[in-house]
Amino acid sequence: MDADAKKTSLRMIPYGIYVLTAKGGDAIGAATVNWVTQTSFDPPLVVVGVKADSGAYAILKESGSFALNMLGKGQQGVAFGFFKPAEVDGHMISGEPFEAGTVTGAPILQNAHASVECKVAEIVEQGDHHIVVGEVVNAHVAKSPEGRPDAAILEMKDLGDNVFYGG
């Protein structure tokens, strides 16, 4: 396989930017992710590729639940903040206020435009990131999009001309 062709073709896949959060016992994990897709309407399922050696992965695996917080245009700072390990201080994670999701307890970032709470339905342990299948069990919209929802989300290409995570 030609490595450049693999990189270019896989980088054609467009991505939004999300903060994945999870709470297990007293431990809270949060990490910026982009490998996300819906995979079923009924039940509503999503798939997230989560770095297998990350703290957020360990916590979601233990707790069996997580939240995906959708960032909006202009929230690059939030995205970059969660590239680093999460630091929890009261009701703040890495400087962002949160509250516990009502169904799962997973942190809902109050500044995210929308959030979904998910119960882990299955994990496929293949690759350097594992494939987490989540059933959406609750949804919050903090800021209704004015136009198309998929035009309101922060995208990978908004993070910088040469920023990619894929390929």
Binding site for a copy of itself (CB under 8 A): 1-2, 4-6, 8-16, 35-47, 49, 70, 113-116, 121-122, 124, 126-131, 133, 136-141, 144-145, 148-153, 155-157, 161, 164, 166-167
- Nearest approach, Cβ of 87 to a copy of itself (angstroms)? 26
Query: Which residue lies nearer to a copy of itself by CB, 12 or 25?
Result: 12
Q: Using CA atoms of 77, 78, 83, 85 in order, give the dihedral in degrees to the nearest 10.
A: 120
Write the CA distances from 45 to 111, 117, 119, 136, integer angstroms: 24, 11, 9, 6
Query: Which residue lies nearer to a copy of itself by CB, 15 or 82?
Result: 15
Query: Which residue lies nearer to a copy of itself by CB, 22 or 46?
Result: 46
Q: What is the β-pairing status of strands 96-100 and 107-109? A: antiparallel
- Nearest approach, Cβ of 75 to a copy of itself (angstroms)? 12
- Nearest approach, Cβ of 58 to a copy of itself (angstroms)? 18
Q: Which run of H or of E encompasses 40?
A: strand 36-40
- Nearest approach, Cβ of 85 to a copy of itself (angstroms)? 21
Query: Which residue lies nearer to a copy of itself by CB, 73 or 87?
Result: 73
DSSP string for 56-117? HHHHHHHHSEEEEEE-BTT-HHHHHHTTSPP-EETTEETTEEEEE-TTT-PEEETTSSEEEE
Read off φ and ψ for residue 149, nearest 5 degrees. -60, -35
Query: Which residue lies nearer to a copy of itself by CB, 44 or 55?
Result: 44
Q: What is the β-pairing status of strands 114-124 and 65-70? A: antiparallel
- Nearest approach, Cβ of 138 to a copy of itself (angstroms)? 5
